[in-house]
Amino acid sequence: MINKLGWKIGGEQGEGLESTAEIFSTVINTLGYHMYSTRDFASRIKGGHSNSKICISEERINVIDYKTDILIAFDQATLDSYIPELDENSIIIADAKIKPEISEEIKGLVAVFPITDLAKEIANPIIKNIITLGICSALLDIDSKIFYDMIEAKFSSKGEEIVNTNIQAFDKGREIMNDFMAENNINDKYYLKKLNPTHKNMWLVGNHAAGLGALAAGCRMYAGYPITPATEIMEYLFDKLPLVNGAYIQTEDEIAALGVAIGANFAGVRAMTATSGPGISLMTEFLGMAAMAEQPVVIVDVQRGGPSSGLPTKTEQSDIFHAVYGGTGDASRIVLAPISVEDCFYTMIDAFNMAEKFQTPVIVLMDLQLGMNKATVPNFDFSKVQIDRGNLLKQEEITEEDIIYFKRYATDVLVSNRTIPGQKGGIHNANSYEHSVVGLPSEVKRNTIRQKEKRSNKIESALVEKPFELNEYNDEKDILLVGVNSTYGVLNKAAKQLQEQGMKIDTMHIRQIYPVAQPIRDTFDKYRKIYIVEHNHNKQLRTVIASKYHNSEKIGSLLKYDGDIYYTHELVEQLLEEEK
């Protein structure tokens, strides 16, 4: 009997493997287990190898374990590619249709079933995915009724005959696996421990958590253009914004998307867009305009492999330079970075509040692993949601009604008062030119200096309440591992493993990349050596932080930039090599 499991399915893209993984994981969630997932798929609609992996644990989990306990193969590439993940306790389930060639290097028990042929006998090949679920149900000793209910919910709209056909396929999968287990004396080796869950966790992707966070933060307008891996945010808000009387606009491109979002914020509506590397490149000019005109707007950048079109379906953290510095002139901006699927929700609250409080664009950087893959998370605490609209004035707060222009860009304060169109006494000019205190174009040197200093100083002062999360495992401060986005779990697991070898390692995960918070620098001072772990070649996070730290020589880098996620053993090996 087990309470921890690595489950992986692989095959040709477009065969319905993702649906199999989705149904399977949804059932596991009802059992009270925690999960964390990853997907590897090609940048195409159909064809090419793909896989989904789900790590399951009785304890909360936020890292992908390298080991695979159950491997389901619908193509030869699955059997050939993941041999290192298997051991003698693994079980490999292969479809006879692929005429599997079993390498001598494969460890574990191999079961070859005529899954596709059985599916054809029952109905059609696509139903092989339901047979696969039956196989897993028997192997893990999961009650059939849970799957029956899932099948009923999924297919009832298509009629009773379709429901019964799918149940028949499921039962056939259970039958062939039960026979195999009896023949091989497997008994309860792979049975999942029965839990008594007191509540049900949510099972969702980071993109959806960010979308819900935006709604909770008061976002009522989304403008965007589809792009992997950020499209799920757009699709989520397309469904949900009408429920709160919000508006959704799919624009002709990313340039227009940001322009519309800026315009909505100018009119007083909290608005956002979401994109990835190629899209944020196109948005650069409007980012500069929003900074110049001191207009709040939130942009989510779900990073993928770059540059240019790059690797649309692979993980990378290489938009950091662009997020912080991208564009002409002095126009750095606030850059936030959630550390988990759960934190995607809360970071969006911070983003909208910071955008209005400091009247500037806020970029929320995520990576593909965090945005597109699922984790179990507890229900969000909506009591933590506080809306801060900064110096946005109500009509009764505008006292100078007899003047022609409102001093929207006053330089005697760090953040000036803000009005919206239609407010009496609040009229001002807003454009992309350097301007006077009322927004009219100005080339007066004294004014230029004051406006530039104001815009820069307000950004440097903009700090969220919790700019990082620090996990201290030792009283002695020797090594600090620092990461961002989806590396949170792997950093903590690596630190704990190396602690068993006598190393003193703590971890920090940064939630605010820019401006670099003084508490980050103060924490760095306590350690002999800092290693910044990131998914890019140019040491982008290290460069940004080191530029603001007085002792940058003690900051090292641990890098991975092949498009794949970090695994714990890889990080451990890199660190041990550096510490020789």
User: Could you give the CA distance from residue 406 to residue 420 in angstroms, rounded to a whole number?
Assistant: 11
Residue 229: pLDDT band with limits 50, 70, 90: very high
Query: pTM surpassing 0.75?
Result: yes
The one-character DSSP state at 244 is: G
Cβ atoms of residues 274 and 230 within 8 Å: yes
322-374 confidence digits (pLDDT tens): 999 999 999 889 999 999 999 999 999 999 999 999 999 999 999 999 999 99
User: 519 preceded by cis ω (within 30°)?
Assistant: no
Of the candidates 345, 355, 366, the one whose C-alpha atom is nearest the C-alpha of residue 258 is 355
Of the candidates 395, 424, 390, 420, the one whose C-alpha atom is nearest the C-alpha of residue 408 is 420
pLDDT at 199 over 90: no
Q: State the pLDDT at residue 266.
A: 98
For residue 90, give the amino acid letter.
S
Length of the chain: 580
Dihedral sign computed on CA atoms, order 298, 304, 305, 309: negative
For residue 159, give the amino acid letter.
G
pLDDT at 401 over 80: no
| DSSP E strands, 216-341 | 221-224, 247-250, 271-275, 297-303, 334-336
Domains, in order of start, for the chain: 4-184 (3.40.920.10), 203-384 (3.40.50.970), 391-462 (no CATH), 468-579 (3.40.50.920)
What the block records as the tokens of 413 is 């304060």
Of the candidates 450, 453, 401, the one whose C-alpha atom is nearest the C-alpha of residue 427 is 401
Q: Rounded to the nearest 5 degrees, what angle is found at the Cα of 126, between the Cα atoms of 121 and 127?
A: 60
Query: Cα–Cα distances in Å, from 497 out to 95, 121, 361, 490, 568?
Result: 37, 50, 40, 10, 9
User: Could you give the CA distance from residue 506 to residue 462 in angstroms, rounded to a whole number?
Assistant: 26
Residue 498: pLDDT band with limits 50, 70, 90: very high
| DSSP E strands, 134-260 | 202-205, 221-224, 247-250
Cβ atoms of residues 62 and 375 within 8 Å: yes
Helix (H, G, I), strand (E, B) or coil at 277: helix
Residue 15: pLDDT band with limits 50, 70, 90: confident
List alpha helices for 48-90, DSSP H. Answer: 76-81
pLDDT at 89 over 80: yes
User: Could you give the CA distance from residue 498 to residue 494 in angstroms, rounded to a whole number?
Assistant: 6
Q: State the pLDDT at residue 14.
A: 83
